[in-house]
């Protein structure tokens, strides 16, 4: 079973409790993380719907800590519906195991800045959605260093 949590402005603080509920009620479920995507006419480019990554990051980090404690699997970061890898708090080691995005993949919906070119995960990360960049700019993007281990400070 897969359960999907889509971060938006209204629910961003709910992720840790969601992980706890799912891990206890459906212990074998795989939890998929997504981020509301202002990419079509169906999802308006509106700050009351789309939160900043920096506003989601603390709750995502806490939810990931809860998932580790309870043995819940959280996936979805490699998806076009995920977040840029530099916005995922904590240890990035597992992200290096994700497949590279095919060179012929259509990335026209995404923006890649200088930080993306310097990022060790650049070939695996889709980047920043254009709609998000229109709302908030690209200033939150940072390059993930080649080896970010458990002893490194949180991004």
Minimal CA–CA distance to 38: which of 50, 26, 56? 50
Report the distance separating Cα 64 and Cα 58, nearest Å: 10
pLDDT band at 40 (very low <50, low <70, confident <90, very high): low
Given this model, what pLDDT does residue 152 score? 44
Amino acid 151: pLDDT: 42
DSSP letters of 83-105? --GGGS-S--GGGGGSPPPPTTS
Q: What percent of the chain has pLDDT over 70?
A: 92
pLDDT band at 74 (very low <50, low <70, confident <90, very high): very high
Rounded to two decimals, what is the model's pTM? 0.85
> Quick one: tokens of 105?
């993949």
Per residue in 81-110, pLDDT (tens digit) is: 889 999 988 877 778 888 899 989 888 889
Task: Count CB atoms within 10 A of the CB of residue 129.
Answer: 24
Average pLDDT over residues 127-131: 90
* Distance from C-alpha of 103 to C-alpha of 76, rounded to nearest angstrom: 20
Angle of CA points 4, 5, 8, to nearest 5°: 145
Reported residue count of the chain is 155
41-50, 94-103, 125-134: the lowest-pLDDT one: 41-50
What is the C-alpha to C-alpha distance for residues 45 and 43, in angstroms, rounded to an integer?
7
Q: What is the pLDDT of residue 27?
A: 94
Closest CA to 113 of 77, 139, 135: 139
Q: What is the mean pLDDT of the chain?
A: 88
User: What's the first-to-final CA gap in the chain, in angstroms?
Assistant: 31
């Amino acid at each position: 079973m897969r359960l999907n949590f889509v971060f938006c402005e209204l629910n961003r603080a709910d992720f840790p409790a969601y992980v706890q509920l799912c891990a206890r009620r459906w212990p074998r479920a795989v939890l998929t993380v997504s981020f509301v995507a202002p990419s079509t006419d169906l999802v308006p480019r509106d700050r009351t719907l789309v939160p900043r990554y920096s506003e989601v990051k603390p709750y995502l980090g806490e939810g990931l800590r809860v998932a580790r404690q309870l043995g819940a699997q959280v996936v979805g970061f490699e998806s076009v519906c995920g977040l840029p890898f530099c916005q995922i708090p904590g240890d990035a080691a597992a992200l290096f195991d994700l497949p590279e995005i095919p060179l012929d993949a259509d990335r026209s919906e995404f923006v890649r800045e200088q930080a993306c070119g310097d990022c060790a995960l650049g070939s695996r990360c889709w980047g920043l959605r254009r709609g998000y960049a229109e709302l908030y700019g690209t200033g939150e993007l940072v390059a993930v260093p080649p080896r970010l281990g458990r002893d490194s400070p949180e991004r």
